[in-house]
Amino acid sequence: MGNIVVFGILWAGLTAVGEWVFRTHRAHSFYYTISNQGSLALSAFNFLSSWLMPIFIFIALVTIFALVRFRAPNNEPKPSEVQAMRNRAFIFTWVGLSFALNIMFWLHPTSVDLEAMFTNWRKEKAQHPLIVNVTARQWEWMFNYPQYHVTQAVNAQGLDEMELPVNRPVEFFLRSYDPFHTYDVYAGVIHSFWIPAFGIKEDVIPGETRTEFLIPEHVANYHTSPLVRVQCAEVCGPGHPYMESPVSVVTAAQFAKWIKYEQKLQAAAGGS
């Protein structure tokens, strides 16, 4: 019984310290988030981390406590003072709590946040969102804005870039295809559309069109944080580590100005 009391005191103390450290520093524990989906992911991360802290400390402490408390001095083992084949109370408690925790995590945040995400998607779909066609090829991201007749958004150096207006719903259409080569579309490779600051990652599969919805909630760009970028998160060949493009979230006026600039670039390229 004394061992249980000592273990319980250590567990409670270390858990309190761990929770305090996490709550004090959790603003930096997750990546930079600037979208409504990123906020959902951050909330889920904080909830799970808070609940898993005592579980992690319990398992780690059991291992260390057993190694220290029940070590054999001078490598001379001696019989345990208490001999037991099994402890039914411990077994039922361990299995019951594990089952309850898994059910709870399935209900919240998994099911709750999925329902919130789908609800947001339905609302955003009804608000006539900005459409961005995203094409993944080896090893490049290309962005098309069909509502503004911009077939491929690039900067002054001719490099692909994505720009989005803040607080406006965006619908991404994701495809894996190389428009500069004629080959069977189904012979392409899988890429993964990942914008860390938006909290989204979606596999882009040849022959399929996938969608993502979100609302950028803060003005930011790649210089604000390198996490404001499109990065391929699926190994797709030797150029995979460099398959990234900067993202900028700007005001509505800045976005309108950028669209005019892109249209001018496209007209100049078509006329040359």
- Each residue of 116-133: pLDDT tens digit? 888 888 888 888 899 999
Each residue's pLDDT tens digit, 76-113:
777 777 777 788 888 899 899 999 999 999 999 888 88
Q: Is residue 249 part of a domain?
A: yes
Whether residue 159 has pLDDT greater than 70: yes
- Return the pLDDT at 110: 86
Residues 140 and 255 in one domain: yes
Residues 197 and 246 in one domain: yes
Q: Looking at this protein, which amino acid is placed at residue 220?
A: A
Print the domain residue range for 214: 130-271
Residues 148 and 241 in one domain: yes
- Secondary structure element (H or E) that encloses residue 194, with its range: strand 191-195
Average pLDDT value for the chain: 88
Whether residue 36 has pLDDT greater than 60: yes
Of the listed ranges 9-23, 50-64, 76-90, the least confidently predicted one is 76-90
Its pTM stands at 0.80
Whether residue 156 has pLDDT greater than 90: no
- Return the pLDDT at 30: 58
Confidence of residue 182 (pLDDT cuts 50, 70, 90): low
Residues 157 and 107 in one domain: no
- Return the pLDDT at 103: 95
Between 256 and 70, name the one with better pLDDT: 256
- Return the pLDDT at 184: 63
Q: Assess whether the previous peptide bond of 109 is cis (omega < 30° from 0).
A: yes
Of the listed ranges 8-22, 61-75, 214-228, 248-262, the least confidently predicted one is 61-75
Percent of the chain with pLDDT over 70: 94
Percent of the chain with pLDDT over 90: 54
Average pLDDT over residues 238-242: 92
- Return the pLDDT at 26: 64
Whether residue 71 has pLDDT greater than 50: yes
Contact between 147 and 189 under an 8 Å Cβ cutoff? The reply is no
Residues 99 and 160 in one domain: no
Matching residue, tokens 């005019």? 260
Please tell me the distance from the alpha carbon of residue 150 to that of residue 153, in angstroms, as a whole number: 6
- Return the pLDDT at 169: 93
Q: Closest Cα partner for 192 from 181, 180, 183, 201?
A: 201
Residues 192 and 109 in one domain: no
Residues 136 and 250 in one domain: yes
Domain count, the chain: 2
Please tell me the distance from the alpha carbon of residue 28 to that of residue 52, in angstroms, as a whole number: 18
Q: Is residue 59 part of a domain?
A: yes
- Return the pLDDT at 183: 59
